[in-house]
Amino acid sequence: MSVDLNSKPRLAAGCRMGENNNQRVLLMPERALRLNGPSLEIVSRCDGEHSVSQIIGELQLLYSKAEPHKVEQDILGYLALLQKERALDFEM
Amino acid sequence: MLDSVSNPLALVAELTHRCPLHCVYCSNPREMQSRSNELSTETWSRVFKQAAEAGVLQADLTGGEPLARPDIVELVRNARAAGLYLSLITSGLPLDEVKLELLVDAGLDHFQLSFQGAREEAANDISGTKSHQQKLRVLQWLKRYRIGLTLNFVIHGRNIHELEEMLAIVKDTGAGCVEFASVQYYGWAFANREKLLPTHQQLDYCVERLKRAEEELVGKTRVVFVVPDYYAKYPKPCVGGWGRKLMLITPSGDALPCHAAPIIPGLKFENVKNRSLREIWERSEAFQKFRGEAWMQEPCRSCNRRAQDFGGCRCQAMLLAGDPTATDPVCSLAPQRPRVDAILAKINQPQSAGAEAVPPTTLRTKPEWLYRPNPS
């Protein structure tokens, strides 16, 4: 399953951000995911407004020391994982 | 032992033992609490606050049937205000469209609807009441809301052949998750065990069909299969390890490390009416009893899986080996495993010669169920 660069990811039904002991978490039915650094930057842009390619562009700027292609691959991998976990809907 | 105790992450709030269903595999204890012993709205609301302060992220409102509490909407609102992620674990009875709207407005995050099967007559037989049609209605109402939805099909030897029809029910619900949860043998299920255990053949079919379902539903609905303990090679990490992640509060306010813990003789439970949740978590005898590894016997003590499965389930060790510190007897390495194998051998014994296609005798006759009653 691949992620469409033009689609706009947003948190799926039953998923929202939360905070505990100064740690941001993604709350999902029956489970939670700790968000740190890049994962927090990605998930907080999954708002149904940013397209996947916009998220990639913004993070390539944010992590300008990293190799841009590597940043893209990491983001696509992470979004695919969240999609498999049913944490995201992808709007066209 | 653990150097420091980590936070609890999940709270299971058993709001009541009352329930309109009488499921023959109910995980409630054989001795249930009556309505007059249930905690008040205020006490539950205080518990939710204390839970969030202690680090709990998520609360499951369950029972019995949590909707049997007249204050359910208020409890949802207060738990959500305390900062918890909120799941309602329900049979969908008693519920109407107005109540559902109120629950969603109060901030419910996730609705988990249980199913006893896919065929009305069989499902009603298992639940001891007419419940199946109402569940299908609730699914229709839920389509109006953007809320987390999990369907939970409880499966066993008498309904695995309905798997295809169960998957058909899932198809256009928009559910983010479907669980096929095999009955586990505690409480009422333990009493009805021989009538519920699936055969090897049924289980193999189930595994194969659900693997395909996972591919068919990928990106739409997550498929979760809970294997029956008795057929597992290694035990489940019960409650994520005793006193490591989860706290359960009974309808009368006792704090348990696991829902079946009262069957372990000599364990004393603290009550939320007298102690704060954090105090109970950190200091109560019951939560410390099997925390860490000091209590373990061989083969657990030197097993390199002990940090993965924590020796399995203490309550199952009690039920099957008569010793809560024994290795969970479902583990293939457990000295008591032959007891489990003997139970399975009876379920899987070949029927009369040359009759392989015939379902086991246990499936041909309608059993004499021991139904779970409704406490007053």
Number of Cβ atoms within 10 Å of the Cβ of A25: 21
Q: Provide the token pair at B140.
A: 């229709």
Around B82, how many Cα atoms within 13 Å sit in the side-chain half-sphere?
A: 27
> Given CB atoms, is A12 within the 8 Å cutoff of chain B?
yes
Can you give the pLDDT at residue A60?
A: 97
For CA atoms A22, A26, A29, A32, give the dihedral sign. negative
| Rounded average pLDDT over B283-301 | 96
Summarize pLDDT for B8-66 with one digit per residue, the tens: 999 999 999 999 999 999 988 888 999 999 999 999 999 999 999 999 999 999 999 99
Substitution target from A3, A28, A79, A84 for chain B, most B beta carbons within 10 A = A28
Summarize pLDDT for B151-185 with one digit per residue, the tens: 999 999 999 999 999 999 999 899 999 999 999 99
Work out the minimum CA distance from A9 to partner chain B, whole angstroms: 13
Whether residue B357 is predicted with pLDDT greater than 50 in this model: the reply is: no
Summarize pLDDT for B113-161 with one digit per residue, the tens: 999 999 999 999 999 999 999 999 999 999 999 999 999 999 999 999 9
Summarize pLDDT for B198-253 with one digit per residue, the tens: 999 999 999 999 999 999 998 899 999 999 999 999 999 999 999 999 999 999 99
| Rounded average pLDDT over B284-293 | 96
Percent of chain B with pLDDT over 70: 95
Residue A39: CB partners within 8 Å, gap ≥ 6?
Answer: A33, A78
Can you give the pLDDT at residue B351?
A: 63
A34: DSSP letter: E
Picking from B223, B166, A60, B69, the residue whose alpha carbon sits closest to that of residue A52 is A60
Helix (H, G, I), strand (E, B) or coil at A82: helix
Angle ∠(A47,A53,A56) on CA atoms, nearest 5: 85
| Rounded average pLDDT over B281-305 | 96
Task: Give CA–CA dist B376/B374, Å, rounded.
Answer: 6
Can you give the pLDDT at residue B365?
A: 67
Can you give the pLDDT at residue A21?
A: 77
Whether residue B361 is predicted with pLDDT greater than 90 in this model: the reply is: no
Picking from B174, B166, B176, the residue whose alpha carbon sits closest to that of residue B132 is B166
Can you give the pLDDT at residue B353?
A: 47
Can you give the pLDDT at residue A63?
A: 97
Task: Give CA–CA dist B66/B79, Å, rounded.
Answer: 14
Work out the minimum CA distance from B151 to partner chain A, whole angstroms: 11
A86: DSSP letter: T
Q: Which amino acid is at B91?
A: S
Global pTM reads 0.94
Can you give the pLDDT at residue B360?
A: 52
Can you give the pLDDT at residue B266?
A: 94
Whether residue B358 is predicted with pLDDT greater than 90 in this model: the reply is: no
- The reply to whether residue A18 touches residue B148, judged by beta carbons under 8 angstroms, is no
Q: Pick left, alpha or beta for residue B91 (phi over 0 → left; psi -120 to 50 → alpha; otherwise beta).
A: alpha
Task: Give CA–CA dist A58/A61, Å, rounded.
Answer: 5
Picking from B85, B77, B83, the residue whose alpha carbon sits closest to that of residue B52 is B83
Q: Are B154 and B114 in contact (CB under 8 A)?
A: yes
Q: In this structure, which long-range contacts are made by residues A55-61, counting pairs with CB atoms below 8 Å and at least 24 apart in sequence?
A: A55/A9, A56/A5
Name the interface residues of B facing A (CB cutoff 8 Å): 7, 9, 55, 57-58, 83, 85, 87, 109-110, 112, 146-150, 174, 176-177, 218-222
Q: State the count of interchain CB pairs (< 8 A) between A and B.
A: 60
Whether residue A1 is predicted with pLDDT greater than 80 in this model: the reply is: no
